A and B are shown apart, each in its own frame.
Chain A
Amino acid sequence: MVTDTSPLVVDSEIITSSLDDPEKFAALFDRHAGTLYRYISFRLGPELAEDLVGETFLIAFRRRDAYDVSYRDARPWLLGIATKLITGQRRTEVSRYRALERQSPAQPVEGPEEAITRDLTAQGSRTVLLNALALLSRGDRDVLLLVAWSDMTYEEAAHALDIPVGTVKSRLNRARRKIRHALGGVNPLEGHDHG
């Protein structure tokens, strides 16, 4: 099937035209499947990501007649659907962060002292960050990771998750505060001896 992926045609037009010609919806897949895969694989790992990309597009396809065409870019909508699917797998997500956290940090090899310190700092931050992500409530984590990953605006995130903008702001503030607190409260040189 040949689909038009020209950027001159905005996403909302693809969705509108797919109402009469459903096969046109595949153009949206061609545009955004890779983006969705990266997002889902970062949160849940590659094993589940592929299937959930497919699931996201099937749900989007079935809801395409309810799409708000004032949003020309469909990414927030698609990422919102994917985020809700990820929320359904939150145990997998938390287990993933825990498992990554437990992985022993790479042993610094001989080298300049600054390089060793830098490695340990990065490793310590990573461990602390994974722990902090695992501890966030799912609502806070969804907003934080969606915004951090995609750089979408508060308004787009609110649209994506179907929550008020004020809720996006308060969740984001709370999540960031917790992450900063976790990162600031660690001595990176002592923070890597988990597991």
Chain B
Amino acid sequence: MDELKTLIKELEHEPPHSLARQRLRLAQEATAAPRDRRWSRLLRHNRREQPLLSGRRLAMGAAVAAAVAAGVAVPSLLGSADPAYALTKNQDGSINLKIYDFRNPEHVEKELADWGVPADITYLPLGKRCGNNRAPFLKGDDVGATKEELSNSDAAVQAGLRERLEKSSSYQAIRPQDGITIYPRHIKPGQIALIEVMENPVTPTVERPGVAWQFSGRLTTGPIEPCKVVADPSATDIGDATPPAGS
């Protein structure tokens, strides 16, 4: 392949001084966006309040209906008058998590661990997020999205992005279906489900629509750092986001 090497040498150019302009472009972006959140926003699932599923009572009803359909309901916190959450195991092996009250995430973690799912769960009010990355990202989560794709509002581009996102390792394991549904078969040994749930203290209504709650979930191999809570002004932005499948 000497001919190819010769051709390469012949066709390549020496970098010009004007390349400094591109360095400036990078420096401007680095200065303006101390921490880029565009990517993690894609891994976060906004839940818009749907009239048919609004309110915790109705959400609980949906959980019961789903459990009946699956036929192997395993209600958690049996005997509790005020369950903070419900975990149900579906016939396909997936585990559905519904949160009714944003307290005691460690109980959810423990019960998930009993079912073989190592999880790290954080509850935050809507409008806050963890400002640190907390844990390493999985290679299988990089869908190679470009700046143009991320900022492009064209439905086809967004649909393409979502399709790629849905093939990511984390999405396979933690999906925004019927609340949060975890697929243990997509969690490899050593991986941890890192879930952050943000709840809006004000329940949105049809008249005043908004985000009821949102969560971000991904897999990591750890170690996981504690959440450093920061403000997230984009949290209430419902924009023209397409509701995720299953909502």
Contacts of A41 in B (CB 8 A): 11-13
Q: Kindly report which residue of chain B lies nearest to residue A51, judged by CB atoms.
A: B22
Main secondary structure of the interface of B (DSSP, over half): helix
Q: Kindly report which residue of chain B lies nearest to residue A84, judged by CB atoms.
A: B144
Tell me whether B34 and A38 are in contact (CB under 8 A). no
Contacts of A69 in B (CB 8 A): 136
Main secondary structure of the interface of A (DSSP, over half): helix
Q: Does residue A46 face the partner (Cβ distance < 8 Å to B)?
A: yes
Tell me whether B19 and A50 are in contact (CB under 8 A). yes
Tell me whether B19 and A53 are in contact (CB under 8 A). yes
Q: Kindly report which residue of chain A lies nearest to residue B146, judged by CB atoms.
A: A59
Q: Does residue B147 face the partner (Cβ distance < 8 Å to A)?
A: yes
A42 to B22, alpha carbons, bound, how many Å? 18
Residue in contact with B31 in the complex, picked from A22, A34, A50, A122, CB distance below 8 Å: A22
Contacts of B6 in A (CB 8 A): 122, 126
A107 to B30, alpha carbons, bound, how many Å? 51
Contacts of B208 in A (CB 8 A): none
Contacts of B30 in A (CB 8 A): 18, 22-23, 25-26, 61
Q: Does residue A129 face the partner (Cβ distance < 8 Å to B)?
A: yes
Contacts of A18 in B (CB 8 A): 30
A87 to B3, alpha carbons, bound, how many Å? 23
Q: Does residue A10 face the partner (Cβ distance < 8 Å to B)?
A: no
A43 to B147, alpha carbons, bound, how many Å? 22
A148 to B3, alpha carbons, bound, how many Å? 11
Residue in contact with B3 in the complex, picked from A23, A58, A125, CB distance below 8 Å: A125
Residue in contact with A50 in the complex, picked from B18, B27, B35, CB distance below 8 Å: B18
* Contact A179:B4 (CB < 8 A) given known A54-B22, A61-B26: yes
Contacts of B29 in A (CB 8 A): 58, 61
Tell me whether B1 and A54 are in contact (CB under 8 A). no
Contacting residues of chain B (15-42) with chain A, CB-CB under 8 angstroms:
15-16, 18-19, 21-23, 25-27, 29-31, 33-36, 38-39
Q: Kindly report which residue of chain A lies nearest to residue B26, judged by CB atoms.
A: A57
Contacts of A1 in B (CB 8 A): 27
Q: Does residue B14 face the partner (Cβ distance < 8 Å to A)?
A: yes
Tell me whether B19 and A34 are in contact (CB under 8 A). yes
- A184 to nearest B CB, angstroms? 11
Q: Kindly report which residue of chain A lies nearest to residue B150, judged by CB atoms.
A: A62
Residue in contact with B33 in the complex, picked from A22, A57, A66, CB distance below 8 Å: A22
Tell me whether B22 and A57 are in contact (CB under 8 A). yes
Q: Does residue A19 face the partner (Cβ distance < 8 Å to B)?
A: yes
Residue in contact with B142 in the complex, picked from A25, A33, A63, A85, CB distance below 8 Å: A63
* Contact A62:B36 (CB < 8 A) given known A38-B15, A49-B13, A148-B4: yes
Contacting residues of chain A (33-49) with chain B, CB-CB under 8 angstroms:
33-34, 37-39, 41-43, 45-46, 49
Query: B residues bordering A, Cβ < 8 Å?
Result: 1, 3-8, 10-16, 18-19, 21-23, 25-27, 29-31, 33-36, 38-39, 133, 136-137, 139, 141-142, 144, 146-147
